[in-house]
Protein backbone atom coordinates (compact mmCIF):
# COMPACT_ATOMS: atom_id res chain seq x y z
CA UNK A 1 0.00 0.00 0.00
CA UNK A 2 1.30 3.49 -0.94
CA UNK A 3 1.31 5.98 1.93
CA UNK A 4 1.41 9.77 1.69
CA UNK A 5 5.01 9.67 2.93
CA UNK A 6 5.96 7.25 0.15
CA UNK A 7 4.23 9.40 -2.47
CA UNK A 8 6.03 12.52 -1.23
CA UNK A 9 9.34 10.66 -1.21
CA UNK A 10 8.82 9.53 -4.81
CA UNK A 11 8.19 13.13 -5.92
CA UNK A 12 11.39 14.51 -4.41
CA UNK A 13 14.48 14.75 -6.62
CA UNK A 14 17.69 12.87 -5.81
CA UNK A 15 20.48 15.10 -7.14
CA UNK A 16 23.03 12.28 -6.80
CA UNK A 17 20.99 10.19 -9.25
CA UNK A 18 20.47 12.97 -11.80
CA UNK A 19 22.45 13.46 -15.00
CA UNK A 20 22.64 16.10 -17.73
CA UNK A 21 23.52 15.05 -21.28
CA UNK A 22 25.12 17.17 -24.00
CA UNK A 23 25.05 15.72 -27.52
CA UNK A 24 27.58 16.56 -30.20
CA UNK A 25 29.52 15.50 -33.26
CA UNK A 26 32.98 14.87 -31.79
CA UNK A 27 31.79 13.48 -28.48
CA UNK A 28 28.51 11.67 -29.12
CA UNK A 29 27.45 12.22 -25.52
CA UNK A 30 28.99 14.13 -22.63
CA UNK A 31 27.52 13.22 -19.24
CA UNK A 32 27.57 15.68 -16.37
CA UNK A 33 29.11 13.01 -14.13
CA UNK A 34 32.34 13.22 -16.14
CA UNK A 35 31.95 10.47 -18.73
CA UNK A 36 32.30 10.83 -22.50
CA UNK A 37 30.76 8.50 -25.07
CA UNK A 38 32.37 8.72 -28.50
CA UNK A 39 30.37 9.00 -31.70
CA UNK A 40 30.16 5.49 -33.23
CA UNK A 41 28.35 6.61 -36.38
CA UNK A 42 29.87 8.75 -39.13
CA UNK A 43 26.75 10.64 -40.21
CA UNK A 44 28.39 12.46 -43.13
CA UNK A 45 29.92 9.25 -44.49
CA UNK A 46 26.57 7.47 -44.23
CA UNK A 47 24.82 10.34 -45.99
CA UNK A 48 27.39 10.42 -48.81
CA UNK A 49 27.05 6.68 -49.38
CA UNK A 50 23.26 6.87 -49.53
CA UNK A 51 23.24 9.92 -51.82
CA UNK A 52 25.64 8.13 -54.17
CA UNK A 53 23.31 5.14 -54.29
CA UNK A 54 20.34 7.46 -54.84
CA UNK A 55 22.09 9.10 -57.81
CA UNK A 56 22.96 5.69 -59.19
CA UNK A 57 19.31 4.62 -58.92
CA UNK A 58 18.07 7.76 -60.67
CA UNK A 59 20.33 7.07 -63.68
CA UNK A 60 18.97 3.59 -64.28
CA UNK A 61 16.21 2.98 -66.77
CA UNK A 62 12.83 2.41 -65.16
CA UNK A 63 11.75 -1.21 -65.23
CA UNK A 64 15.27 -2.47 -65.97
CA UNK A 65 17.10 -5.19 -64.05
CA UNK A 66 19.92 -2.76 -63.21
CA UNK A 67 17.44 -0.32 -61.67
CA UNK A 68 16.08 -3.08 -59.45
CA UNK A 69 19.63 -3.96 -58.36
CA UNK A 70 20.27 -0.30 -57.55
CA UNK A 71 17.01 -0.07 -55.58
CA UNK A 72 17.93 -3.15 -53.54
CA UNK A 73 21.41 -1.72 -52.83
CA UNK A 74 19.89 1.56 -51.62
CA UNK A 75 17.37 -0.22 -49.40
CA UNK A 76 20.17 -2.35 -47.94
CA UNK A 77 22.22 0.77 -47.13
CA UNK A 78 19.26 2.36 -45.34
CA UNK A 79 18.67 -0.85 -43.34
CA UNK A 80 22.31 -0.86 -42.29
CA UNK A 81 22.07 2.76 -41.10
CA UNK A 82 18.92 2.02 -39.09
CA UNK A 83 20.36 -1.20 -37.65
CA UNK A 84 23.57 0.51 -36.46
CA UNK A 85 21.59 3.45 -35.09
CA UNK A 86 19.03 1.33 -33.27
CA UNK A 87 21.66 -0.99 -31.79
CA UNK A 88 23.67 1.88 -30.35
CA UNK A 89 20.60 3.76 -29.13
CA UNK A 90 19.30 0.67 -27.30
CA UNK A 91 22.68 0.01 -25.67
CA UNK A 92 23.13 3.65 -24.63
CA UNK A 93 19.61 4.04 -23.22
CA UNK A 94 20.03 0.75 -21.32
CA UNK A 95 23.32 2.00 -19.87
CA UNK A 96 21.65 5.18 -18.61
CA UNK A 97 18.87 3.19 -16.96
CA UNK A 98 21.23 0.59 -15.48
CA UNK A 99 23.23 3.40 -13.87
CA UNK A 100 20.15 4.09 -11.75
CA UNK A 101 19.52 7.66 -12.84
CA UNK A 102 16.11 8.87 -11.67
CA UNK A 103 16.33 12.19 -13.54
CA UNK A 104 17.83 12.38 -17.05
CA UNK A 105 18.06 15.80 -18.69
CA UNK A 106 18.53 16.27 -22.45
CA UNK A 107 18.79 19.52 -24.38
CA UNK A 108 16.19 20.55 -26.94
CA UNK A 109 18.40 20.58 -29.99
CA UNK A 110 18.16 22.01 -33.51
CA UNK A 111 20.94 20.26 -35.38
CA UNK A 112 20.39 21.78 -38.86
CA UNK A 113 23.54 23.91 -38.69
CA UNK A 114 25.72 21.29 -37.00
CA UNK A 115 26.54 19.20 -40.06
CA UNK A 116 27.79 19.90 -43.58
CA UNK A 117 25.09 17.91 -45.34
CA UNK A 118 22.06 19.83 -44.13
CA UNK A 119 19.51 17.45 -45.58
CA UNK A 120 20.43 13.80 -45.30
CA UNK A 121 23.13 13.75 -42.62
CA UNK A 122 21.09 15.99 -40.35
CA UNK A 123 18.04 13.76 -40.84
CA UNK A 124 20.05 10.67 -39.85
CA UNK A 125 21.54 12.44 -36.84
CA UNK A 126 18.26 13.95 -35.72
CA UNK A 127 16.53 10.58 -35.95
CA UNK A 128 19.31 9.01 -33.87
CA UNK A 129 19.21 11.63 -31.13
CA UNK A 130 15.42 11.69 -31.19
CA UNK A 131 15.22 7.93 -30.78
CA UNK A 132 17.75 8.04 -27.94
CA UNK A 133 15.64 10.58 -26.04
CA UNK A 134 12.47 8.59 -26.73
CA UNK A 135 13.86 5.24 -25.60
CA UNK A 136 15.65 6.69 -22.58
CA UNK A 137 12.47 8.45 -21.46
CA UNK A 138 10.45 5.24 -21.85
CA UNK A 139 12.95 3.10 -19.91
CA UNK A 140 13.65 5.65 -17.16
CA UNK A 141 9.97 6.48 -16.59
CA UNK A 142 9.06 2.79 -16.57
CA UNK A 143 11.32 2.50 -13.52
CA UNK A 144 9.72 5.49 -11.85
CA UNK A 145 12.23 8.13 -12.97
CA UNK A 146 11.85 11.24 -15.13
CA UNK A 147 13.34 12.36 -18.43
CA UNK A 148 13.02 16.04 -19.39
CA UNK A 149 14.40 18.44 -22.01
CA UNK A 150 15.67 21.98 -21.46
CA UNK A 151 16.53 24.97 -23.61
CA UNK A 152 20.22 24.67 -24.59
CA UNK A 153 20.65 28.45 -24.91
CA UNK A 154 23.78 29.59 -23.08
CA UNK A 155 24.89 26.13 -21.97
CA UNK A 156 28.14 26.42 -23.92
CA UNK A 157 28.90 30.02 -22.90
CA UNK A 158 28.06 29.78 -19.20
CA UNK A 159 30.55 28.58 -16.60
CA UNK A 160 29.17 25.54 -14.78
CA UNK A 161 31.27 26.49 -11.78
CA UNK A 162 30.40 30.12 -11.04
CA UNK A 163 27.54 30.76 -13.49
CA UNK A 164 29.22 33.68 -15.27
CA UNK A 165 28.44 33.75 -19.00
CA UNK A 166 31.15 34.64 -21.51
CA UNK A 167 30.23 37.25 -24.12
CA UNK A 168 32.12 35.73 -27.04
CA UNK A 169 30.65 32.71 -28.82
CA UNK A 170 32.95 29.69 -28.75
CA UNK A 171 33.99 28.35 -32.14
CA UNK A 172 33.33 24.61 -32.53
CA UNK A 173 37.06 24.07 -33.06
CA UNK A 174 37.72 25.24 -29.48
CA UNK A 175 37.23 22.14 -27.33
CA UNK A 176 38.11 23.60 -23.92
CA UNK A 177 36.03 26.02 -21.87
CA UNK A 178 38.00 28.53 -19.81
CA UNK A 179 36.27 30.82 -17.33
CA UNK A 180 37.96 34.21 -16.94
CA UNK A 181 35.98 34.83 -13.77
CA UNK A 182 36.70 31.79 -11.55
CA UNK A 183 39.47 30.13 -13.57
CA UNK A 184 37.58 26.89 -14.30
CA UNK A 185 39.08 24.91 -17.19
CA UNK A 186 36.90 22.09 -18.51
CA UNK A 187 36.03 20.23 -21.70
CA UNK A 188 33.40 22.38 -23.42
CA UNK A 189 30.92 19.50 -23.82
CA UNK A 190 31.31 18.51 -20.18
CA UNK A 191 30.75 22.13 -19.12
CA UNK A 192 27.57 22.21 -21.23
CA UNK A 193 26.36 18.91 -19.74
CA UNK A 194 26.74 20.28 -16.21
CA UNK A 195 24.77 23.40 -17.20
CA UNK A 196 22.07 21.22 -18.78
CA UNK A 197 21.78 19.30 -15.51
CA UNK A 198 21.45 22.54 -13.52
CA UNK A 199 18.69 23.79 -15.84
CA UNK A 200 16.96 20.43 -15.61
CA UNK A 201 17.07 20.42 -11.81
CA UNK A 202 15.61 23.94 -11.72
CA UNK A 203 12.83 22.91 -14.12
CA UNK A 204 12.11 19.68 -12.23
CA UNK A 205 11.95 21.50 -8.90
CA UNK A 206 9.61 24.13 -10.34
CA UNK A 207 7.30 21.33 -11.48
CA UNK A 208 7.71 19.34 -8.25
CA UNK A 209 7.15 22.00 -5.57
CA UNK A 210 3.41 22.48 -6.32
CA UNK A 211 2.96 18.69 -6.10
CA UNK A 212 4.71 18.56 -2.73
CA UNK A 213 2.60 21.43 -1.43
CA UNK A 214 -0.61 19.71 -2.55
CA UNK A 215 0.52 16.46 -0.93
CA UNK A 216 1.22 18.23 2.37
CA UNK A 217 -2.09 20.12 2.29
CA UNK A 218 -3.94 16.88 1.53
CA UNK A 219 -2.13 15.12 4.38
CA UNK A 220 -2.93 17.99 6.77
CA UNK A 221 -6.61 18.04 5.77
CA UNK A 222 -6.84 14.27 6.16
CA UNK A 223 -5.43 14.45 9.67
CA UNK A 224 -7.85 17.25 10.58
CA UNK A 225 -10.78 15.15 9.38
CA UNK A 226 -9.55 12.15 11.37
CA UNK A 227 -9.21 14.29 14.51
CA UNK A 228 -12.71 15.70 13.97
CA UNK A 229 -14.17 12.19 13.65
CA UNK A 230 -12.38 11.06 16.81
CA UNK A 231 -13.69 14.05 18.78
CA UNK A 232 -17.25 13.34 17.62
CA UNK A 233 -16.86 9.71 18.55
Integer Cα distance of 102 and 13 in angstroms: 8
Phi, psi of 58 (to 5 degrees): -65, -25
Residues 6+ apart with CB under 8 A from 155: 22, 107, 191, 192, 195, 196, 199
86 in Cβ contact with 131 (< 8 Å): yes
**107, 165, 168, 187: which one is catalytic?**
107
Closest CA to 160 of 112, 194, 211, 204: 194
What phi, psi does 120 have (nearest 5°)?
-80, -50
Catalytic position from the list 8, 22, 44, 165: 22
Q: Tell me, yes or no, if 107 is annotated catalytic.
A: yes
* Angle at CA of residue 75, ends 74 and 77, nearest 5°: 65
CB 21 within 8 A of CB 106: yes
Residue 33 is given by DSSP the state T
Of the residues 8, 38, 61, 189, only one is catalytic, namely 189
Q: Can 99 be counted among the known catalytic residues? A: no
Residue 86 appears among annotated catalytic residues: no
- How many whole angstroms separate alpha carbon 89 and alpha carbon 129? 8
Active site residues: 22, 107, 189
Amino acid sequence: MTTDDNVEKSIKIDVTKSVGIDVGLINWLALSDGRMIENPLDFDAQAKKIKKLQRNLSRKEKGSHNREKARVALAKAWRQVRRCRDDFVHKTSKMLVDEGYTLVVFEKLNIVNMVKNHNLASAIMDATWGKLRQLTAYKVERRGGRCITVNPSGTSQKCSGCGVETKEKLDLSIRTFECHSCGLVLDRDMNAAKNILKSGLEQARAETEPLLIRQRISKFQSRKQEAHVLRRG
